Structure 1
């Protein structure tokens, strides 16, 4: 026995539930075809590109249809397995992608998809992948793949498990839709507030005195409330860059000074940042260009995740991947965060770089923003933060649901957790039928 077999289940190999198929299809030179790739860790196939038949030899192409299982031989150890869905039926893969079809008398396509998404499948691929060169050292042979052991319940229980997990996944998708709806509502409301304020038509509007070139909230703004100004951001906030102390000097690291780096960029989704993954000490600060920034400094990610912005909840230093703004008395840092968060299209326009997209410091020096009176800035920030706090709460709930789904999937598909018999009996009539992905 290679794996633990729950009561009423059976131990099988993948060759017992999957049959190899090879459909070599000729693509004429004048025809186009869609070429697929596979995402990591069982996250499905994706459309890589659309090509002409003359661009790749038809001898190396295989057509796939809905329900087929494919994997990338070179990266199977990273979980590059997928069941083809209807949208990708009729697409092609190269000969680096072995293709299989579920044997429906043993397993449903959906259950097969769930099996290959399990982390232990990627772990086993990593264990048995072989090769003699740097390129092929992790290549997974299809014969080895088909000898992976799995445990399999009856088809009725397969259908019940799949149905149960689909219900959880539906809840996850509903939560994602809620987050998207709130985000879209925020964009619409904040676009008005950040260009017209809360008074809207009740406030007299004046034409812009100069062209708004860098830092636009939206295009087409030609007039603003009469008591607002269009100003150079550096005239109301001090721009600071970050720096990384020498990594070769361990005596610079591990102190009590928080140091914000790319590893912390997810934290910028929150309104404030108080903790970092790494810390430096005074010696590291003194021997680098980094400096300790005060509380409420506005932090902007200008490299890998361009556009994320937050405020410091406590004094800390940052890496050079951030543009940092110490706000003066004329601008509320909470307002500036909301401005930055609403400038997604503008940040994309201002990015540059041949290898990695970034926004260079000279660009920040040219940013212009609309500056309402400080009280109105605070009111606008209050509204934006109310949306953000709701979005943060929804994202936390989503993360909990996703973790629950992952844990349930592993427990149910291993048989360590069993569904009630009454739930399984509801699918007895459907058992034995071929169920497509």
Structure 2
């Protein structure tokens, strides 16, 4: 008889260092369930005992939970299955949402969607908080249920987990905490940069840059600097023009899919399959290619590098600049900019207009914007000098954002690798402490 294949978690346990213990969860401390006091008894509620639901744990960005949306009274605690957890317990969701977890900063109770571990050793919480991220697939594998998945108390208690020596356990937790902190700080910085970028889009494309290189005051403060236009108030030196007067508009087509020789011929062809590549300024690669023969036997056109494209169907309003010569499907508009129009300025202008495009798209199955709209589409156009300056500022903002996105991905990948190595003892912690201090910045170990 063939031996049953080991699960990833079983393999993980079998490769632990020889000086690490393997313990069932219930041997780490006491496993405690939860409960919900009757809503019909008003005296059970609005007390001073924080009471946690799975949604609050699933949505928290930090390891430690300090407050809850609802509170119960001592009578509610006594009259239900809820139990008061001392601070430092690990609260784990074990029904519907499986494997979300948090450590309570103050004594709390939970509803019945949790199994919580009250540790014998208070400092254990940090290590097992991180381990349960690694353990989540095993919780799902062991769960059962038709309406929603749930893992029973006996099943939960019997799961084996690593139990490293206490000093090593604490160091592992601190290293992973440091990476989590760096990740959250980077996420917050990205949110700020996104807000800055949106503010710049609005200001530079409605107020522009004056002769001294500064952002113009708003129309409400300096009305003499502005004039009325069909698109609202615009700076006095700007024009409202049909886009067709400053750019050559084109579109695309799909060669017959029944003719194999029309496809895979080296001509990059932007289609709806490339939606995930749009809104990143330049597009360099495409999901599909067509051939010169396919180009010649369809209405597809080879658009030159630098052409600005916009999706007018599914993914309405997404845009990009072609990073090389490409064709596009009929779902896209394409503009080759003339001397009066900076293509980067047009790209950012279309990005700001995206909500408008999404609003005017019509259709029950696939929303689309018809060609007549683009034939008469007007833009507020500054002099070329202002366009160039605005585009340069927006590019710098975009590059800053991309750099932080790359840093965030680097941190996330490092966390994945370190979780695998440290939580299972494949890499022992002591040699890593110096390098983690350099990587994660000011947080002390």
Q: RMSD of aligned C-alpha atoms?
A: 4.8
Matches within 5 A, 1:314-393: 314-318=324-328, 322-343=332-353, 346=356, 349-350=359-360, 360-361=369-370, 365=374, 367-393=377-403
Asked whether the 8 Å contact 1:82–1:113 carries over to 2, the reply is no
TM-superposed CA distance for 1:400, in Å, is 1.4
Q: Matched residue pairs, number? A: 388
Rg (Cα) greater in structure: 2
Alignment-derived partner of residue 265 in structure 2:
255
Q: What CA deviation, in whole Å up to 9, does each residue of 1:265-324 have, x standing for no partner?
A: 444354322123443445665677655433212233567766543211112244566554
Higher relative contact order (CA 8 A, sep 6+): 1
Q: Pick one of 274, 281, 301 that aligns with 1:271.
A: 281
Alignment-derived partner of residue 400 in structure 1:
410
In the alignment, the residues of structure 2 paired with residue 336 and residue 239 of structure 1 have an alpha-carbon distance, to the nearest angstrom, of 13
Q: What CA deviation, in whole Å up to 9, does each residue of 1:368-402 have, x standing for no partner?
A: 32112233322221221122222222222222122
Asked whether the 8 Å contact 2:91–2:116 carries over to 1, the reply is yes
Alignment-derived partner of residue 426 in structure 1:
none
TM-superposed CA distance for 1:153, in Å, is 1.5
In the alignment, the residues of structure 2 paired with residue 380 and residue 63 of structure 1 have an alpha-carbon distance, to the nearest angstrom, of 59
Alignment-derived partner of residue 38 in structure 2:
26
* Secondary structure in 1 matching 2:241: strand
Q: 1:70 to 1:385 in 2, by over 3 A?
A: same
Q: Pick one of 112, 129, 147 that aligns with 1:113.
A: 129
TM-superposed CA distance for 1:127, in Å, is 5.0
Q: 1:362 to 1:101 in 2, by over 3 A?
A: farther
Alignment-derived partner of residue 101 in structure 2:
83
User: Which has the larger displacement, 324-333 or 64-73?
Assistant: 64-73
Asked whether the 8 Å contact 1:24–1:62 carries over to 2, the reply is yes
| Match status 1:124 vs 2:100 | no
In the alignment, the residues of structure 1 paired with residue 340 and residue 415 of structure 2 have an alpha-carbon distance, to the nearest angstrom, of 48
| Match status 1:191 vs 2:205 | no
What are the ranges of 5 or more consecutive residues in structure 1 without an aligned counterpart?
45-49, 51-60, 213-220, 424-437
Asked whether the 8 Å contact 2:32–2:83 carries over to 1, the reply is no
TM-score by length of 1: 0.69
Alignment-derived partner of residue 74 in structure 2:
none
TM-superposed CA distance for 1:92, in Å, is 8.0
Alignment-derived partner of residue 439 in structure 2:
none
Matches within 5 A, 1:232-311: 232-237=242-247, 253-261=263-271, 264-282=274-292, 291-301=301-311, 308-311=318-321
Alignment-derived partner of residue 6 in structure 1:
17
Q: 1:189 to 1:328 in 2, by over 3 A?
A: same
In the alignment, the residues of structure 1 paired with residue 235 and residue 357 of structure 2 have an alpha-carbon distance, to the nearest angstrom, of 22
In the alignment, the residues of structure 1 paired with residue 83 and residue 256 of structure 2 have an alpha-carbon distance, to the nearest angstrom, of 52
TM-superposed CA distance for 1:70, in Å, is 0.4
Q: 1:330 to 1:223 in 2, by over 3 A?
A: closer
Alignment-derived partner of residue 150 in structure 1:
161
Asked whether the 8 Å contact 2:103–2:125 carries over to 1, the reply is no
Asked whether the 8 Å contact 2:307–2:321 carries over to 1, the reply is yes
Alignment-derived partner of residue 56 in structure 1:
none
| Match status 1:209 vs 2:221 | no
Matches within 5 A, 1:137-176: 143-176=154-187
Q: 1:390 to 1:108 in 2, by over 3 A?
A: same
Asked whether the 8 Å contact 2:253–2:329 carries over to 1, the reply is yes
| Match status 1:224 vs 2:235 | yes
Q: 1:377 to 1:287 in 2, by over 3 A?
A: same
In the alignment, the residues of structure 2 paired with residue 381 and residue 422 of structure 1 have an alpha-carbon distance, to the nearest angstrom, of 43
In the alignment, the residues of structure 1 paired with residue 413 and residue 270 of structure 2 have an alpha-carbon distance, to the nearest angstrom, of 27
* Secondary structure in 1 matching 2:305: coil
Q: What CA deviation, in whole Å up to 9, does each residue of 1:342-384 have, x standing for no partner?
A: 346545655667788x563469536432112233322221221
Alignment-derived partner of residue 181 in structure 1:
192
